[in-house]
Structure 1
Amino acid sequence: MNQTISNEKFSKVEQGKSTCFFNETLINDFSVDMLNPSYWQQQNAVTGSAQGRGTTWFVAYSDSNNIKHDWVLRHYYRGGLIGKIINDSYWFSGLEKTRAACEFALLRHMNALQLPAPEPIAYRVIQQGLTYRADLLSSRIQHAQDLVAVLSENVLTNDVWRRIGATIKRFHHHGIYHHDLNSHNILLDDKDQVFLIDFDRGELRTNPVNTQWKQENMARLQRSFLKELNKLAQFYFTDDNWQALMNGYLA
């Protein structure tokens, strides 16, 4: 099944218990195996990894047209206490309601709005009876680090803090709810451009009356900075920094 949206072409591939959806404009030689870390390891294409609930893999390769790609491969894991028991299985109630399909669709929407977020490349859902497991392949933000890494090494200017706040405001203005807005999910590249990543369980909220979620998002972000400040031996974050961020958000 093909679906054309604007200038993008999306295709669905079914293989065994796996259902994949991918963007043909960004990948011309798609294989279901590309959603497996072992595939990239065998290709010597893994350029790094990051640890969260699970391992996030960074991969780089050149396609059949000799176009270079830098991607991020992430498997969906549960958090909290239930995650220690069930780990990576979710109840299946339709492909479009899976975590991977929802994040993929939200990324597409944000890209259409030209918001600074990763491009969605492909996702896979593996159905097993009443449950499923899932993976997402997205573009990697070039020459970027998350704020925890940045603030462990450097002091940011008030201008950059204001830019961070202004960037979050752009997402909120378009009704983009980030379920886990924290200092790890905000990236800063080598030109001090700001990006948001990891929109698992994110939503599009367009009700103009309900804005409480925006305040909750910002409160969650502030708590994450304070958590890192208390945890790390060196972490450059002050009340003045937060005020500068909020100045950018409220401007």
Structure 2
Amino acid sequence: MIFCFYDESEIEHFSQDLLDSDYWQSNNKVVGTAQGRGTTWFIEVDNKQWVLKHYYRGGLIGKFNKDSYLFSSYENTRATKEYELLNQLRALDLPAPKPIACRVIKNGLFYKADILTERVCNAQDLISFLIKQAVNADLWHKIGKTIKAFHDHNIYHHDLNIHNILIDDQEKVWLIDFDQGEIRTDSTSWKEENMSRLLRSFNKEKTKLEALHWQANEWDLLMTGYTSE
């Protein structure tokens, strides 16, 4: 069984092929890719740019079960939850990608899933930015303020790291990849955990890339933006 959501304002004639990378490759609409757990596809069609992502498992279990998840309901699938959360973020005017479509393919007790989102154009992730140049104090403040805006709305980002922060050519800051994200109102300790995870990602990448334009004292600049009113 196949279950799909899509934005009718973006897609006039929907087909589940739009959630299939082979379809876009065969029509020569793929303009780039990115590698993570799997391949993320960048698509350009009718002057629109989209991002297609298939959901892959991480960690040890991902070595044995690449992309199948236990099914309980369509509402609880990773694709549906991320699609609906992105719609909520857009309604709150938070800088996150617009969801375009998602698909869940159920097979027995398990499912596989895909999501199509709007691409943040003329943007690069923070690690790519830091490989090329240093970040000035104003931009560090913007990064901190942007994260705080999400936290003020109780938006939990499951994997807040320097790969999931984008900077566009106007130096607007965006957050991407809200897989397993959610709205949390039961406590606030997770906000500190989010920030600790982000700091660990800076330290981890600095260890791997000595030339990365980041120094430990710049964390204070980010936190100044995060804590300012």
TM-score between the two structures when normalised by the length of structure 1:
0.90
The answer to whether residue 219 in structure 2 is matched with residue 219 in structure 1 is no
CA distance in 1: counterparts of 2:7 and 2:180, whole angstroms: 21
1:163, distance to aligned residue in structure 2 (A): 0.4
- The 10-residue stretch of structure 1 (227-236 or 86-95) with the greater mean CA deviation from structure 2: 227-236
1:240 — aligned with what?
Answer: 217
How many residue pairs align between the two structures? 228
Write the letter of the residue equivalent to 2:88: H
1:233, distance to aligned residue in structure 2 (A): 3.6
1:76, distance to aligned residue in structure 2 (A): 0.2
1:135, distance to aligned residue in structure 2 (A): 0.1
Aligned runs of 1:36-47 on 2, under 5 Å? 36-47=20-31
Write the letter of the residue equivalent to 1:188: I
1:206, distance to aligned residue in structure 2 (A): 2.1
1:55 — aligned with what?
Answer: 39
Q: Is the 8 A contact 1:174 1:206 kept in 2?
A: no
1:176 — aligned with what?
Answer: 155
Write the letter of the residue equivalent to 1:73: L
Matched residue SS, 1:236:
coil
2:8 — aligned with what?
Answer: 24
2:227 — aligned with what?
Answer: 250
The answer to whether residue 180 in structure 2 is matched with residue 196 in structure 1 is no
Matched residue SS, 1:124:
strand
Write the letter of the residue equivalent to 1:230: T
State the identity %.
55
1:145, distance to aligned residue in structure 2 (A): 0.3
Higher relative contact order, structure no. (Cα contacts within 8 Å, ≥ 6 residues apart): 2
Write the letter of the residue equivalent to 2:204: K
Matched residue SS, 2:28:
coil
1:79 to 33, 37, 58: 58
CA distance in 1: counterparts of 2:124 and 2:27, whole angstroms: 25
Matched residue SS, 2:60:
helix
Matched residue SS, 1:152:
helix
Matched residue SS, 2:205:
helix
TM-score between the two structures when normalised by the length of structure 2:
0.98
Write the letter of the residue equivalent to 2:143: I
1:101 — aligned with what?
Answer: 80
Write the letter of the residue equivalent to 1:44: N
CA distance in 2: counterparts of 1:190 and 1:25, whole angstroms: 26
The gaps in structure 1 that reach 5 residues or longer are: 1-16, 63-67
CA distance in 1: counterparts of 2:98 and 2:20, whole angstroms: 19
CA distance in 2: counterparts of 1:140 and 1:114, whole angstroms: 16
